[in-house]
Structure 1
């Protein structure tokens, strides 16, 4: 008896005979594996762009470029995985081997985020930054190879576990499989940003990227172990050869043969693929023609993915400048990505059961290509919404100095009001009250300015001070203005990741200790200032001590603000005595304003992506579904590369202008696609294949009839020849 043959039914059985509720028990291992793998991938990807910006200290453009390069690689490697699985190793071994590579990559990412900050490393940048960059890049390459390589194998391997009479169970499996993808994505984009926001470290507390990458790495290891545990229960089909290789060889031969026979003596062919008829079967050529017809429609599609995948890069960076306080919940910038899977799980059934049937009842022919066109327009609308939100953000940002400018603020640390004269200022003299900051920063073009200060109405002291181009500074005016003047260096950008930057200035004659939540106690010398500390959203309480005296100062913080706090003395009214300057206002544009752009991009995804897969499947020959699947994934990769090209060529100074540019490009491409779709004729590949097979059968029948006729003629000739020979023999005897 052959392996995997059911003696009762007398037909091939997939895997073991163990079933649960009519389903092969092996698929439960595959479903759990997919859930864990998707959790691992999307969890790591959710915090990736913030890791680039705030851990490796890359700027927005560099972080975005590397992010999209990584995503593009994830959608290029499925072609490699499909070839390896179909031609050499088979699906099972390909999944196992590449999952090991995948897990190593995830572990490498977790290790790359481990470091300890020293006192000389105040900005959070690792001392051995090159090692961290190299390790993270190696990790990302291995992850791209692993996740892309197994992408075309896992779902198909799950489908292999069902018998031919389990079509309904197979359909249910694919629905559950898709649910696991979105479930893993949803949970991971909620959990990993929470893990990232935790404070961890040995010598200082920083965002916990090792934990945010470590948990996805652990889930990938779980996915690998679960998949291997089910090994004995799987049906493992042997590799049958890769149809993609056959397609490429046939196309290559047709092109080569066409240019070889360019002279007029050769008859023209109806289609350039017909030049392959000398070597390849006509049915294969007809199937390739159908595939090429669909692939031609794919040419404009990468532009959709150019916009879609920016929700994990540009939109996440945009969210760092928004207010994430939703009342009962405080949303992290990278958690806004959860809106996408939530809306997918909501919109897919609504579209299928309500919107599309309603459109059909209205008598409108809403074809798949029309749905995809509308999906592209919705994505363009999403980027217009993103541009509007960005304009709102830009209107709330302070005016920072340009590369040729400097900005200066004043702090009077004395107990008396001072008069200050600044050059090129609209006001002839400024009055700065005791223990107060000036109301705003003053902008200067010169590197050296002359400042005059007095305490009794007259300008007693005049000095020349140096300013730093492109920087903000605060001039600390001591109580005795004839003493040394101290200059601070202030922030010229929003604090990272929605944190609040705080700094204390000591106006007392004795040193003070300031206890900052989540950090060590900092000693501030007399008439000097502390380093900036990052404070999370919410209420923070600082304990200030000098000798035997101490007090507590509390304040509510929002997102993305910067404060200078001045300590004139320590007493019972510390809460009232401490004054402050709000150098950078907290984020005032609410994160909820991103919901419309997420709604439009997700609605566009449902109409474009889901419909596109359905269209590709319906228009593909039976043995070339994987070829079109590979072509579809290739459009995603090309779309991510377009992000890099457009952003590099445009070099727009304003982010909202870049959003408008991408929206405009997609609208232009959408118009081209709609024209192509108008001239497209829908086909039934099954019917065309049946016609070719029938023609081949008829040709074979004609060939057989011809052979039979030839054989009959040969028999007749042999019979006549033998008869003539007998007559000749008789004549000889006579």
Structure 2
């Protein structure tokens, strides 16, 4: 049974335990560093290092993939040996080092590898502490991951505005240094607030006795692996935001606002996060009202709906890009803003919901490993996104976005099919599987 470090009266953020605020702020600054570097990465490679676009897309995709690959092993190391607290501290310090290494062109590839390795320890070990903040059956746990997701996106919103502006105005290395400072702030917040976090659960070992309900656990893990495989396809489309969407903001958008000022290209990457933390409270309130009336959409159907909305957003963007190309003009910047609104609303129905699904269905003592499985989908998804990004140059921009929309639509169809055929696994878990809080 899940323990908690906070009493029911100890609240701080949206009525949740104060420990969620600690995790929220820790992740916010970690995301500031990560997305600050990401906002500059493609531009830095193509404009400063003179790397060809298709090669830069592959490098970007490979780096982003390994950011999601290393948490698989980091989660296992945290669960079996280091513990979550030590994994967060070691991983965060390693990531900070990698960000500061980005200030040197000669250390470009080692810096990317260092950030990815540190992220492997940090990412699953932080998110996997959320469930331990709530007692068994605490209804607040239903929306905890959505609140946490706001923290992720608040940092991601600030990053392009700060790191991106410094990189464009003063030099790329200033932007990378700012990202490193953000990682240091993240570590300081975690250490200062660690007393509000749940105690370490017993480490899982190879010699430990197996839980009584092995069949149930295997069924849950098989179910989650299947979902992760479908999310790989979705991420092939979703992860274009920092890659080809960033390139289109530079090449295909009229960013001029006044006669003397145009919107910096990196600023558009803040829109996704701005919309996330603006819309999340509204969505959470709506889902809460529906739940009180006995109306709850299964998580898998929410995810399928979100993937379909993302697919439609890309198809519509393809139409805008095709029209602009046919008329020999750049698209107005308002079209990209509108696309981000639609794209992000779809994202809110799939990514935080999927993260919550993996956290809630994880066996006790293996939660970091389960969360890492969710992020592992990002590994293959980013490899797919990088490969798809190589089509940017040979295809017209309009047709490229239509192809990406088709990829997201395939993911939506598969998620809906699984919801129809295997949705009972999710229901069984919510009905009271061992060591899992009820919904």
TM-score, normalised by the number of residues in structure 2: 0.82
Taking a change above 3 Å as real, the CA distance of residues 334 and 14 of structure 1, as seen in their structure-2 partners, is same
Aligned to 1:636: 378
* 1:684 equivalenced with 2:431 (yes/no): no
591, 606, 610: which one aligns with 2:352 = 610
| Kept in 1: contact 2:94–2:115 (CA 8 A) | yes
| Kept in 2: contact 1:382–1:596 (CA 8 A) | no
261, 277, 280: which one aligns with 1:345 = 277
Structure 2: distance between partners of 1:617 and 1:324: 41
Q: Which has the higher contact order (CA 8 A, sep 6+)?
A: 2
Structure 1: distance between partners of 2:163 and 2:405: 30
Structure 2: distance between partners of 1:384 and 1:647: 16
Structure 1: distance between partners of 2:161 and 2:430: 44
Structure 2: distance between partners of 1:173 and 1:631: 19
Aligned to 2:342: 600
Aligned to 2:160: 189
**SS state at 1:310 partner:** coil
Aligned to 1:148: 120
Taking a change above 3 Å as real, the CA distance of residues 621 and 73 of structure 1, as seen in their structure-2 partners, is same
62, 65, 69: which one aligns with 1:76 = 69
Larger CA deviation: 48-57 vs 87-96? 87-96
Aligned to 2:93: 100
Structure 2: distance between partners of 1:195 and 1:111: 16
Taking a change above 3 Å as real, the CA distance of residues 311 and 89 of structure 1, as seen in their structure-2 partners, is same
Give deviations 1:408-431, integer Å, cap 9, x for gaps.
xxxxxxxxxxxxxxxxxxxxxxxx
- Report the Cα offset of residue 681 of structure 1: 3.7
Structure 1: distance between partners of 2:142 and 2:295: 29
Taking a change above 3 Å as real, the CA distance of residues 372 and 223 of structure 1, as seen in their structure-2 partners, is closer
Which structure shows the higher helix fraction?
2
Taking a change above 3 Å as real, the CA distance of residues 323 and 85 of structure 1, as seen in their structure-2 partners, is same
Which structure shows the higher strand fraction?
1
| Kept in 2: contact 1:49–1:67 (CA 8 A) | yes
Taking a change above 3 Å as real, the CA distance of residues 246 and 665 of structure 1, as seen in their structure-2 partners, is farther
Taking a change above 3 Å as real, the CA distance of residues 23 and 598 of structure 1, as seen in their structure-2 partners, is closer
| Kept in 1: contact 2:36–2:160 (CA 8 A) | yes
Aligned to 2:36: 43
Aligned to 2:399: 657
Q: Over aligned residues, Cα RMSD in angstroms?
A: 3.9
Aligned to 1:109: 102
- Report the Cα offset of residue 225 of structure 1: 4.0
Structure 2: 5+ residue stretches without partners: 435-439
Q: Rg: which structure is higher?
A: 1
* 1:386 equivalenced with 2:333 (yes/no): no
Aligned to 2:437: none
Q: After superposition, where does 1:317-466 map in structure 2 within 5 Å?
A: 317-321=247-251, 322-327=253-258, 330-354=262-286, 366-395=297-326
* 1:179 equivalenced with 2:150 (yes/no): yes
* 1:223 equivalenced with 2:179 (yes/no): no
Aligned to 2:52: 59
Aligned to 1:198: 169
Taking a change above 3 Å as real, the CA distance of residues 291 and 371 of structure 1, as seen in their structure-2 partners, is same
Give deviations 1:674-730, integer Å, cap 9, x for gaps.
33322124232365646xxxxxxxxxxxxxxxxxxxxxxxxxxxxxxxxxxxxxxxx
* 1:138 equivalenced with 2:110 (yes/no): yes
Give deviations 1:289-336, integer Å, cap 9, x for gaps.
222133224332211111111011101100112221335973211211
Q: After superposition, where does 1:520-531 map in structure 2 within 5 Å?
A: none
Aligned to 2:203: 241
- Report the Cα offset of residue 180 of structure 1: 2.6
| Kept in 2: contact 1:103–1:143 (CA 8 A) | yes
Taking a change above 3 Å as real, the CA distance of residues 337 and 289 of structure 1, as seen in their structure-2 partners, is same
**SS state at 1:93 partner:** helix
**SS state at 1:285 partner:** helix
Structure 2: distance between partners of 1:618 and 1:235: 18
Structure 2: distance between partners of 1:329 and 1:607: 36
Structure 2: distance between partners of 1:175 and 1:324: 32
- Report the Cα offset of residue 622 of structure 1: 5.3
Structure 2: distance between partners of 1:625 and 1:24: 19
- Report the Cα offset of residue 348 of structure 1: 2.2
